[in-house]
Structure 1
Amino acid sequence: MKRMLVVLAGLLAIATPASADPVNTPYLPAPTGSRPVGTTSLHLTDENRQDPWVPSAGPRELMVRLWFPAKSRGTHRAQYMTPTESELVLEGTGVTGVPPDILSRTRTNAYTDAAPAPGRHPLVVLSPGFTWPVSTLTALAEDLASHGYVVAGIDHTYESFATTFPDGRVTTCAACTLDVDDFPTLLIESRARDVSFVLDELSGYRFVDPSRIGMAGQSLGGASVGETMLTDQRVRAGANLDGSMFKPLPESGLSRPFLFFSEQQITDPTWERDWPRLTGWKRWLTVAGSVHQSFTDYDMLAQQIGVDLGSGLPGTRSVEITRRYVRAFFDLHLNGEPQPLLDSPSRCYPEVIRKR
């Protein structure tokens, strides 16, 4: 498999610094939409489900970050992650030679004191890669929100190097140390249950349109999108960003819209297997010069702090491409807006190639 479990837990490392002196403060590029972006965090507890990785912890707890179109711009920018989270992520990915809190300094574009804009908005759920916090998808989330989407990013507890709760607890990756048969499948099934619980909790929010829900995930998060769509009919469209399909789609198929978006590397046999089982609208796009982290903030941020991932996408290019194509997918399938970008090559994005 292209993404064996060692990749999920180990190859996610950001590599070694190319320079001992990081450049200026890391930053996320400004969103491309016209709406200011607000953000808040939710602490949710599923009283009907015991935590699958640490049963002694009791009911399943999740931290969820919401991004949304705001009435007006605020004054307090959201923190990308805490200094402790930055230190644990860098330690977990094997990065040395940079200040341990460097990722916590990343400049974001969403405001914690901004109120949601009126109206009901489509909802996109984001699920990150194994060991990574959902903050790795912040640039994508901010951009979607600036175009009118509510975005719910889920930190899957005990599957990340660091998750911080309101009472100050910081959980780490307990799942990383487990020796369990068919572990990737268990992870995917657990994430699908996490998403469905979060959708239950958000269904009563006045600014969420429950008839327009999509999901995107990167790496293991992308692998979880298909399972979520199979088990929860509320998710109308799904995008897998470079994640092997560890749990096969059923031969009966999945008929709702689905996007494969990946590196231009050796073909993933799990995608080849599941491609015929996608029986609705579908696309398989690859990005020349990308690496696994190019579908998160980390390709871009690694370059900013002087770390070489081997990416061929300079500056903010990886974020620009991911934002544009993921938004086009949801604009088409949640908003009904035609998207020629998904049908033919683009002079603006020559790196993106339609494989199928």
Structure 2
Amino acid sequence: MYRRTAVFAASLLIMGGGVAHAADPFVPHLPPPTGPFPVGVTDLHLVDHSRPDPWKPAKYPVRDVMTTVFYPAADVRGYPLASQMTAAAAEQFPRVDVAFTHPELPKAGVDWAATMSHAHVGAPARATRHPVLLYSPATADPRTLGTSLAEDLASRGYIVVAIDSPGETTEVDIPGQGVRIIDLTSSPAVDPKVFRDILTTRIADTRFVLDSLTTLANGQNPDAELRRLPAGLSRALDMRRVGIYGHSIGGSTAAETMYEDPRIKAAVNLEGFLDYLPDSPQQTFGDLLPVAANGTDRPLLLFGTDGYRTPRYDHGWNAMLAKSPCRTTVRRLTDANHWVFSDFGSMAAQFQAAGLMTQEQRNTLIGAIAPERSVPRIHNRVADFFGRHL
């Protein structure tokens, strides 16, 4: 762990924390992966013809799901690095995500399209079987804001499939359709029906992605446009060892999808509720999710922060511990806040150093914790958990 922490601390110097020139938009950087393998990446556009879009069924009679697959690569020479976001998505990000979801972020002065990942587009996959991890992001967040953790896990030998659920994601770039922005008219934080609908949709999307990955592992191409897949990718998927992790409502999705789908062997909930919103003001708490009400026979890590802890979290998480004390582990990150589990965990300090974010805004977003502490601790904790159970 010391070596990885030292590597990350050194990378902060490479990132640069200086103030951006007024004429030059600031470019945030992502910490480099710490595992032994180079990382390849490809996108899959998946279409579920068995159900319509839940948000606009008349406009979208079939369900689109966008995914990004990060994987250990055999050789990355000659394969370009991927950007964190597509140019089209990055153009919409400050208008939609920053404006409506993350008011602490800079309103201007950031070149979101210029942030590069450390993954190489289309590189051939390593010719061995690797465990598969699914990732579900936070409420309204695009899957791209989980790039850092996904890359790090891929560099350690996992295949990570990050999932976007169009319609409740602030922006998602879909081949042939352009960028679809969020369709929700109320927030899952206050609307019980919207919370239930998002969770139900994400679980269905996740199980459909699992079906599509099984198709891929059997040698077929599930991509809607039948785009060429990286060499060796289908043979690299070990569908007998599948885990899932998610942030916020994505963490709720991870825990509940594991409960409903026996193909998933272990789950990490990064600060997601384990109950529904109350249906009436007279209720103190909502009904527990089935996983918390009934318990689980598979390993579940509940990983939270001290800054975002609420009675509602304790209600669901304590119920989970009571039902499955031998299968459930709880860990908390101190001096931290909710969005430290996303790429903002490393970016916020850069924004503050560049004069684009105040200390108060940073604390609201990720807490006072330094990224050289938070990033290795999160990455190592998640990797160690799946290393034990997959």
**What TM-score do you get using the length of structure 1 for normalisation?**
0.83
Q: Note the alpha carbon deviations across 1:11-40, whole angstroms, 9 max, x for none.
A: xxxxxxxx8969963111111111000000
2:199 alignment partner, one of 185, 188, 191:
188
Letter in 1 for 2:91: T
1:98 aligned to which of 98, 103, 108: 108
Alignment match of 1:167 (pick from 162, 169, 176): 176
How far 1:264 sits from its partner (Å)? 1.4
Cα separation, partners in 2 of 1:58 and 1:36, compared to 1, 3 Å:
same
How much does 1:50 deviate?
A: 1.1
Tell me which residue corresponds to 2:231.
Answer: none
301, 304, 318: which one aligns with 2:350: 304
Q: Equivalent residue for 2:243?
A: 214
For structure 1, the 5+ residue unaligned runs are: 1-18, 335-356
Residue 150 of structure 1, CA deviation: 0.4
2:80, 2:121 within 8 Å by CA — same for their partners in 1? yes
The CA deviation at 1:171 is 1.0
- The corresponding residue for 1:84 is 91
Matched, 1:317 2:373: yes
Report the alpha carbon displacement of residue 317 of structure 1 after superposing the two structures with TM: 3.0
Which structure would you say has the larger Rg?
Answer: 2
Alignment partner, residue 228 of structure 1:
257
Partner of 2:41: 39
After superposition, the C-alpha distances for 1:217-244 in whole angstroms (9 at most, x for unaligned) are 0001001112201221101000000111
Q: Could you say if the C-alpha distance between residues 176 and 209 of structure 1 is closer, same or farther in structure 2, counting changes exceeding 3 Å?
A: farther
Q: State whether residues 297 and 319 of structure 1, in contact with CA within 8 Å, keep that contact through their aligned partners in structure 2.
A: no
| Structure 1 moving runs of 4+ over 6 Å | 19-23
Partner of 1:210, secondary structure, is strand
Instruction: State the TM-score, normalizing by the size of structure 2.
Output: 0.76
Question: 1:111 maps to what in 2?
Answer: 120
Shift of 1:168: 4.8
Q: Which deviates the most, 242-251 or 140-149?
A: 242-251
Distance 2:107 2:267 in 1: 38
- Trace 1:117-196 onto structure 2 (pairs within 5 A): 117-177=126-186, 181-196=192-207
Q: Which amino acid aligns with 2:379?
A: R
More displaced, 242-251 or 158-167?
Answer: 242-251
Structure-2 residue corresponding to 1:258: 300
- Identity %, equivalent residues: 31
Q: How does 1:282-297 map to 2 (within 5 A)?
A: 282-297=328-343
Q: 1:321 offset after TM fit, Å?
A: 1.5
Identify if the C-alpha distance between structure 1 residues 271 and 186 changes in structure 2 by more than 3 Å, giving closer, same or farther.
same
Q: Hey, what does 2:50 align to over in structure 1? A: 48
The structure-2 alpha-carbon separation of the partners of 1:156 and 1:316, relative to structure 1 and needing over 3 Å to count, comes to farther
Is contact 1:130-1:220 (8 Å) kept? yes
Q: Quick one: which amino acid aligns to residue 74 of structure 2? A: K
1:64 to 62, 67, 73: 67
How far apart are the structure 2 equivalents of 1:303 and 1:318? 11
Structure 2: tracts of 5 or more residues without a match: 1-18, 218-234, 277-287
Contact 2:248/2:270 (<8 A) preserved: yes
- Structure 1 residue 316 displacement after superposition: 4.0
Secondary structure of 2:198's partner?
Answer: helix
Letter in 2 for 1:237: A
1: CA distance, partners of 2:72 / 2:195:
35
Superposed displacement of residue 298, structure 1: 1.0
Q: How many positions carry a matched residue from both structures? A: 315
Alignment deviations for residues 277-324 of structure 1 (CA, whole Å, 9 cap, x no partner)? 235422100001111011111132122123232122223432222111
Cα distance in 2 for residues equivalent to 1:42 and 1:258: 28
Structure 1 distance, partners of 2:73, 2:164, is 23
Once the two structures are TM-superposed, the CA of residue 90 in structure 1 deviates from its matched residue by: 2.2
Bigger helix fraction? 2
Tell me the secondary structure at the aligned position of residue 309 of structure 1.
helix
User: RMSD of aligned C-alpha atoms?
Assistant: 2.1
> 2:296–2:327: 8 Å Cα contact kept in structure 1?
no
Q: Could you tell me whether the CA contact under 8 Å between 2:275 and 2:289 is conserved in 1?
A: no
Aligned-partner Cα distance in 2 for 1:176–1:105:
31
Amino acid at match of 2:82: A
Match of 2:214 in 1: 203
State the Cα deviation string for residues 236-279 of structure 1 (Å, max 9, x = none). 00000011113424333211100000011445222122321235
